[in-house]
Structure 1
Amino acid sequence: MNEFLTTLLQAVLVAAVPVCAAFIGKGLKALAGYLGQKSENETAKKYLAAAADAVATAVTYTSQVYVDKLKETGQFTKENQREALGIAVAQAKNLLTAEAAAFLENAYGDLNEYLKSRIEAEVRNQKMGVGTLTFSA
């Protein structure tokens, strides 16, 4: 009986986690949209939109160029996952203008940490088919 309850609980958790993640992703997207609209500063909106676009593009690029090939061969390890994150961060930084990078560093502190958190959220959103993070202008 105890094994049955453990199996049942695992099945419920496996089913519930993706649903919860999708709701959290949508909530983050809505929050980001709200914060983007709330901002009085047009420059901030422009840079936040540029960051969202850079992150979405970097995640798609990294997935197509690096991750998909490793997954096809079954070689996508934790080490490769960290390397993919590094590639995505570098790609996002390359896509940002110097002014946008300076704004993000000023607003959020460490640009790498900001981009890593946005990239992780974007990877989850793309996996769940939720779409990309956007900031309204």
Structure 2
Amino acid sequence: MKQEMQTVLVQLLIAIIPILSAFIVRLLNLKSNEIKQHTKNSKLDKYVDYAADIIKKSVIAVNQIFVDKLKEQNGFTPEKQKEAFELAKKKILSMLNEDAKKALTMIYGDLNTFLDSQIEATVNNLKNQSIEKESKE
């Protein structure tokens, strides 16, 4: 009786182990993919933050060096606005490394369109902050 019980138990284990192994392998693959996706998203988030920082610093620099002087001389024409925009964009592109450019292209599709919209948004945000600061004074 004991021998029969052991035989049944061994056969049962032989049947269960492949199923259990397949389940464990699948669970490990799912967790591995989840970790990879989280890591990938984390890297992409870093590139977006990196780009946003560069865009903001470049817009501020162009504003301080180029735009403010033109405004003092009443020479900030639409042509000069376009020139300031292109100067900021050129500065941004020179500061972004190739990995960041690739990541931003992967996320947003077109790097130039992304940069154009972010420059405009940054200029608008800085302008609004300036207006709010002046109204508080």
TM range (shorter): 0.5 to 0.7
Match of 1:60 in 2: 60
Deviation track 1:59-99 (CA, whole Å, cap 9, x = no partner) reads 00110111111111000000111111101111111221110
Which amino acid in 2 is paired with 1:74? N
TM-score relative to the length of structure 2: 0.63
Offset of residue 120 of structure 1: 0.5
Amino acid at match of 2:55: V
Give the percent of matched residue pairs that are identical in Structure 1 and Structure 2.
Answer: 40
Spell out, residue by residue over 1:26-70, the C-alpha distance to the aligned partner (whole angstroms, 9 max, x if none): xxxxxxxxxxxxx94111111000011011011001101111111
- What is the TM-score with the length of structure 1 in the denominator? 0.63
Cα drift, residue 110 of structure 1: 2.0
In structure 2, the residue matched to 1:87 is 87
Distance 2:69 2:109 in 1: 34
1:118: how far off?
0.3
Runs of 4+ in 1 over 3 A off after TM superposition: none
Q: Distance in 1 between matches of 2:63 and 2:108?
A: 26
Tell me the amino acid that sits aligned with residue 63 of structure 2. S
Bigger Cα Rg? 2
Q: Which one has more relative contact order, counting CA pairs under 8 Å at least 6 apart?
A: 1
Counterpart for residue 106 of structure 2: 106
Higher share in helix: 2
Q: In the comparison of the two structures, how many residue pairs are matched?
A: 92
Gaps of 5+ in 2: 1-36, 131-137
RMSD value, Cα: 1.6
